[in-house]
Structure 1
Amino acid sequence: RMDQAVLLVRNELPEQGFILAFLSGSCHQCLYQFLAFVPPSNSSMGKPGTVLVTIDTQHPVTLLLNGSVGDLCKIQYHFGEFGNYSLVVKNTSTKTVSCDLVINEAPVNSYLPILFAFLVYVGMLAVLVVGRLCMKIDAVRNWVYKKLNLRKPDHLINSELGSPKPADSVSHDPSPRLRSAGSRQRLRSLDTFRGLSLIIMVFVNYGGGKYWFFKHESWNGLTVADLVFPWFVFIMGTSISLSLSSILRRGSSKKKVLGKILWRSLLLILLGIIVVNPNYCLGPLSWDNLRIPGVLQRLGFTYLVIAALQLLLTRPGAESGTLETRCPALQDILPYWPQWILILLLEVIWLCLTFLLPVPGCPRGYLGPGGIGDFGNYPNCTGGAAGYIDRWLLGENHIYQHPTSAVIYQTTMPYDPEGVLGTINTIVMAFLGLQAGKILLCYKEQHNQIMSRFLIWSMGMGILSAILTKCSKEEGFIPINKNLWSISYVTTTSCFAFTLLLLMYFLVDVKRLWSGAPFFYPGMNSILVYIGHEVFGNYFPFKWKMQDSQSHTEHLVQNLTATTLWVIISYLLYRKRIFWKI
C-alpha cells in the first residue's frame, strides 16, 4: 500500500521466538507498539520462523526485537515506499545475535511526481510569460490577430489612422486598467497573499497528493499544511484595518459599521456550521452529533473581536499618522495602546487557563497528545486544558472526532483543533495582521518605511519563537503546535507571514514586477472559493474514481487538477466582475 514497505522477518534462532515491536520517529516519548510475534526456527526441518509485516515509510522507525532473555537488537531505519526488505536474525560464531537488514526490492522514489508537477507548472508559467512579452511587440501581435482572424485592438486602428497617441490606446487586457485605476484604493499584494494562502489550503484539504508534509502535523511541529490557516487569519486582520479606515473616511457612522460587523460574523459562523456538517444524502442534521467549531466559525468570531477593537478603540488621526506621539518611530503602535492592553490580557488568560487550570486525571499545564505519548501515562489527556474546556462547554459529540494525533499517538479522545481556547491565539494572530495594516496606513506611499517595519516585525516574531521553543521541536517552553494554537505557533507563522507580505508588497506594489497572478484572482473571491471547494469537493470534475488509489501520482494529479480548476473559476469570475462578499 501507499506509504508502506514489506518486511519479511526470518528467525533462525533455535527454540527462541521473539516479539517484534516498532516506534515511529515522529512519535515523541511513545511506547513501543506490538507488531508481530516471530516463532523460533524448526531445527528438525531446517526452516526458520518467518513473519511478513508492513512498515510505515513516512517517517523513520525503530524496530525492537524482544526475546525471553531481554532485548535481542534494536534497528533504526527509514524504509522506502513499496520497498521489499528482509530482517534476518541469527546466531553468529561468537554466539551473539545478529540482525541483518537486506533490501530484496528497491523502493520507489515517491517524490518524483512532485518534481514533475513542479516542472510542468513552471513550464506553463514560462510559456505565459514569454507569450505576454511577445504580444507587446507590434509585429507579433499583428500576425497573431491576422492568423486568428480577430478584430484588431483599438490602439492599432488608431495607429493606422495616424493618431498613435498613448492616451488613446486601449489595452485588450482589462487587468492593467484595473490595476492602474484601482492601485490607489486596493493593494494587490494583499489579495495575492490571501489567494496564495487559500490555494495552498484548497490543495491541502483535497489531499495534497497524500504526502505527509501536506498533512497537518500529528502534534508538535510544523508542516506546509499548518501554515495556511494562520496566514489567512493574518491577512484578514490586515484587510480589516484598511477596509474600516476606508469606510469611516466615507462618512459611515460607527453604529452602522458595527451592525455590519455583527451581521458578517453571524453569517460566517452559520456558513461554517453548515460546511463542517455535510449531510446532504443522509437526511436532516441531528443535534446529537453536530460539530460546532470549525474554520469559518473561528474566522467569524475572530473577525468580530478584531473589527470591534479597531472600530471602537482607534483614536482619530491615528491611522493617517497625523496624531502626535511622544515617539514618532512608534506612531503605528502607541496610539493603539488600549488595543494592545486588551490583546495582552487575552494572552494572559490563555496562559493561565493552559498552565493553571486543573484537568481531572491530567498533570497541570499538560500540552501533550495523550494516547501512547508521554510513555502512555496520560492516555485521556489529549490537548490538556484546551481539550477539557471543549468537552466541558460543547460536549464530546459536538467537537472533531478524528484529531491528527489519532494515527501516530493512537489517541481515542475527540479533540477539536478549532476549539474554544485556541481561538484566543487566533485573535492574537489576526491582531498581528491588523498591525501590518496599521503600518500600511501610517506610512502610506513610504515604501522603505513599510518594508523595514515588516522586516523588524518578522525578526521580532522569529526571535520570540526561538526563545519559546528553544529552537527545538519538542523540548521548548511552549512547542509549536497547530492543534493547540500555541503562542509559539502564532509567533512562528506570523514571522513567515510578515516576510511573505514584505516580498509580495515589494514585487507586486512597489516594483510591479509581478501582477500577483494567478493567486490574485482567488484572493478576490476567497469566501466563494473556500465554501465552493468544501461543498463540491467530492463531485466531478474535482474528484473521480482512480485506477490505482495507492498511487501518489494519481492523487497528486487529481488534487492539482481540482485546485487549478478553482483558480480558473476565480479568474473567470474576476473577468465577469462577479465577487461574493459577505
Structure 2
Amino acid sequence: MQGRTPFHSPLALMSSLHPLLPQCLYQFLAFVPPSNESLRKPGTASVMVDTQRPLTLLLNSSVGDRDLCKIQYHFGEFGNYSLVVKTLSTSTQTELGSPNTTDSLNCDPTPQSWSTGSRRRLRSLDTFRGLSLVIMVFVNYGGGKYWFFKHESWNGLTVADLVFPWFVFIMGTSIALALGSMLRWGSSKWKVLRKILWRSFVLILLGIIVVNPNYCLGPLSWDNLRIPGVLQRLGFTYLVVAALELLFTRPDSGTWEGQFPALQDILPYWPQWIFILVLEAIWLCLTFLLPVPDCPRGYLGPGGIGDFGKYPNCTGGAAGYIDRLLLGEKHMYQHPSSGVTYQSTMPYDPEGILGTINSIVMAFLGLQAGKITLFYKDQPKQIMSRFIIWGIGIISAILTKCSKEEGFIPINKNLWSISYVTTMSCFAFILLLLIYYLVDVKKWWSGAPFLYPGMNSILVYIGHQVFANYFPFKWKMQDSQSHAEHLTQNLTATTLWVIISYILYRRRIFWKI
C-alpha cells in the first residue's frame, strides 16, 4: 500500500486490528515525509499489511499530535492500494483507492485487482468460471462415456449443456467490473475500445486456427475450415457486449439518484436494454417468420427421423438454413448431436450465427450481475437478494410450459433458444449467489481447486484442446467399452489441467488476452 500526502508536515501511519476483533495497540507502519512544494511532489511511503484480518489504519500528524483520519478495512490478498491524503482549505480529505470521491472525509475504499487495478478481485467469479471450465474439460474429454455428460440430442438438458452458457455469463459479469475500473484509473474510452477489438480478434483467430474440429477431415484448409466455434462465439459476444457497456459505463459506479432506487442497476442503462430487446426481437422474427425452403415456418425440430420423418432436411429450421446459406455446409460443424438419435444428415453448427444473438443476451444478463455487484458494493445482503430475484425462472416456466417438448419455445442448447438462455441465466444467478456467499462473504471456502483454472481459463481451454490426444492426457485403453477406464482417463486428464493451473497460479503466471 502506498500513502501520498501534500501536507507540509510529516505524518505517521499506524495500524491495529479491527475493533470487532480483540483489541490491540496501534503498531507503527510508516513515516510519511512532508511534501516538496518546490518540486510539486507529495510525500510518499509504501508499506505491506497483513490481509488475514480486518485492520484499522490511523493517520496522525506530528504537528500537534492530532489524529487526521481513521479507516477500517479488510484488505484483499495481493491487492495494491493507494491512500491519498489532501488538505482542502481547513479540512482534511482522504481517499483509499479511487480519487473520484467528494466527501471531506471519505473512508470508502476501492481496492485494486490484479488484472485491472481498481477493485478487489472477487474470488467467487474466478471460482465460478473455474467450475464451469473444469466441467467443460471433463465433458470434452469424454465424461466417462456416461450419457448425462454428453450433450442432449435436441430439446432438454444434460450436465454437458450447462457449462458453456455459464462461461458466457461470467464473461459478461467480468466486463462490468473490468471496464468501469479501467476508466476509473484513467484509461480513455478509445484506449479501452482498442483493447476490446484486439481481444475479440485474438479470440476469434485462436478459435479458427488453433481450436478447429475440422482438423479431423485432414490438413486444415479453406475448403473445410469451420468458421463458427466456441472461441469465435466468445470473441464476438465479448465484442458486442463490451462495446455496448463502454458506451454507457461511468468512471464511478456510485448510486443512481432517481425515482426508483430499487432499479438503480437497470434504469440508467435503458438504451442497452432497448438494444438487447431489439436483438431478441430479431432472433424471434428470423426464427419464426423466415421462410425456409421445404420446411414449415417456425420449425424448431432436429430434422432426420424426428417429427415422424416429415422434415428430414430441416435440422434447426431458420438457424440451420441461415448458416448453410451464409457460411456454406463445409464451413460448419459436421457431426451435430442430433445425428445420433434423429439420424439427421444435414450439417448443423451449435455455435452458428442465429444462436450468437442469444449468447449476447446471456452475456448481457451476466453483465447485469456485475452491475448489481458494483451498485451494491459492500452490501452483500443486497447483492444476494438481487441475485435471488434474478434467479426466479418465471420467463422460462412460461416459455417452456414447464415441459421438455410441449412449450412455446423448448429449452435447446443446439439452437441457443431464448428459453435455454433464461433458464441457464437463472441457474447462473443462483449458483453465483451460493459461491459468492461461501467464498467472498463468509470466507468458508477459498474457491480451490476451481479458483486456479478460473484465473487461467484461456490457457486451460486452448491447452486441453490442443493436447487432448497426447499422453498423459490420453492413452490406449484395454477395454474401450468400459466406463471405468474412460472415467479414469478423463478424470486424470482433467485433474492434470487443474494441477497445471495451480502451478501457474503459484508462480503468478496468468495468460491474458
Among candidates 337, 340, 343, match of residue 410 of structure 1: 343
User: How much has 1:286 moved relative to structure 2?
Assistant: 1.4
Inter-CA distance 308–574: structure 2 relative to 1 (3 Å threshold): same
Q: Alpha-carbon deviations, 1:64-83, whole Å to 9, x = none?
A: xxxxxxxxxxxxxxxxxxxx
Inter-CA distance 283–472: structure 2 relative to 1 (3 Å threshold): closer
Among candidates 552, 571, 580, match of residue 502 of structure 2: 571
1:285 and 2:220 matched: yes
2:379 corresponds to which letter in structure 1?
Answer: Q
Query: Helix, strand or coil: the match of 1:217?
Result: coil
Among candidates 452, 458, 465, match of residue 385 of structure 2: 452
1:505 and 2:440 matched: no
Q: Alpha-carbon deviations, 1:251-289, whole Å to 9, x = none?
A: 100011101100100000000012333688997521111
Among candidates 252, 269, 275, match of residue 210 of structure 2: 275
Q: Alpha-carbon deviations, 1:172-222, whole Å to 9, x = none?
A: 9xxx97367778521000000000000000000000000010000000000
2:254 corresponds to which letter in structure 1?
Answer: S
Which residue is 2:478 aligned to?
A: 547
Which residue is 1:228 aligned to?
A: 163
Q: Alpha-carbon deviations, 1:359-380, whole Å to 9, x = none?
A: 0000000000000000000000
Q: Alpha-carbon deviations, 1:455-492, whole Å to 9, x = none?
A: 00001xx1111110000000000000000000000011
Larger radius of gyration: 1
Which residue is 2:254 aligned to?
A: 320
Among candidates 518, 523, 528, match of residue 454 of structure 2: 523
Among candidates 175, 180, 187, match of residue 240 of structure 1: 175
1:201 and 2:136 matched: yes
CA–CA distance in structure 2, aligned partners of residues 256 and 448 of structure 1: 35
CA–CA distance in structure 2, aligned partners of residues 546 and 177 of structure 1: 46
Which residue is 1:338 aligned to?
A: 271
CA–CA distance in structure 1, aligned partners of residues 276 and 502 of structure 2: 38
Which residue is 2:365 aligned to?
A: 432
1:277 corresponds to which letter in structure 2?
Answer: N
User: How much has 1:316 moved relative to structure 2?
Assistant: 6.1
Q: Percent identity?
A: 82
Contact 1:355–1:364 (CA<8 Å) still a contact in 2?
Answer: yes
Q: Alpha-carbon deviations, 1:25-61, whole Å to 9, x = none?
A: xxxxxxxxxxxxxxxxxxxxxxxxxxxxxxxxxxxxx
1:466 and 2:404 matched: no
2:476 corresponds to which letter in structure 1?
Answer: K
2:282 corresponds to which letter in structure 1?
Answer: I
User: How much has 1:313 moved relative to structure 2?
Assistant: 2.4
Inter-CA distance 513–251: structure 2 relative to 1 (3 Å threshold): same
Inter-CA distance 502–392: structure 2 relative to 1 (3 Å threshold): same
CA–CA distance in structure 2, aligned partners of residues 177 and 439 of structure 1: 20
1:496 and 2:423 matched: no
User: How much has 1:320 moved relative to structure 2?
Assistant: 2.1
1:557 and 2:494 matched: no
Among candidates 324, 327, 341, match of residue 391 of structure 1: 324
Q: How does 1:85-124 map to 2 (within 5 A)?
A: none
Contact 2:144–2:483 (CA<8 Å) still a contact in 1?
Answer: yes
2:202 corresponds to which letter in structure 1?
Answer: L
CA–CA distance in structure 1, aligned partners of residues 295 and 248 of structure 2: 40
Contact 1:219–1:482 (CA<8 Å) still a contact in 2?
Answer: yes
CA–CA distance in structure 2, aligned partners of residues 169 and 312 of structure 1: 38
Gaps of at least 5 residues in structure 2 are 1-26, 30-47, 53-74, 81-111, 114-118
User: How much has 1:397 moved relative to structure 2?
Assistant: 0.4
User: How much has 1:324 moved relative to structure 2?
Assistant: 1.6
Inter-CA distance 343–302: structure 2 relative to 1 (3 Å threshold): same
Gaps of at least 5 residues in structure 1 are 1-164
CA–CA distance in structure 2, aligned partners of residues 279 and 295 of structure 1: 13
Contact 1:325–1:335 (CA<8 Å) still a contact in 2?
Answer: no
CA–CA distance in structure 1, aligned partners of residues 214 and 337 of structure 2: 22
- What is the TM-score with the length of structure 2 in the denominator? 0.77
Q: How does 1:133-144 map to 2 (within 5 A)?
A: none
Q: How many residues matched? A: 411
Query: Helix, strand or coil: the match of 1:421?
Result: helix
Inter-CA distance 171–255: structure 2 relative to 1 (3 Å threshold): closer
Q: Alpha-carbon deviations, 1:220-271, whole Å to 9, x = none?
A: 0000000000000000000000000110000100011101100100000000
2:262 corresponds to which letter in structure 1?
Answer: A
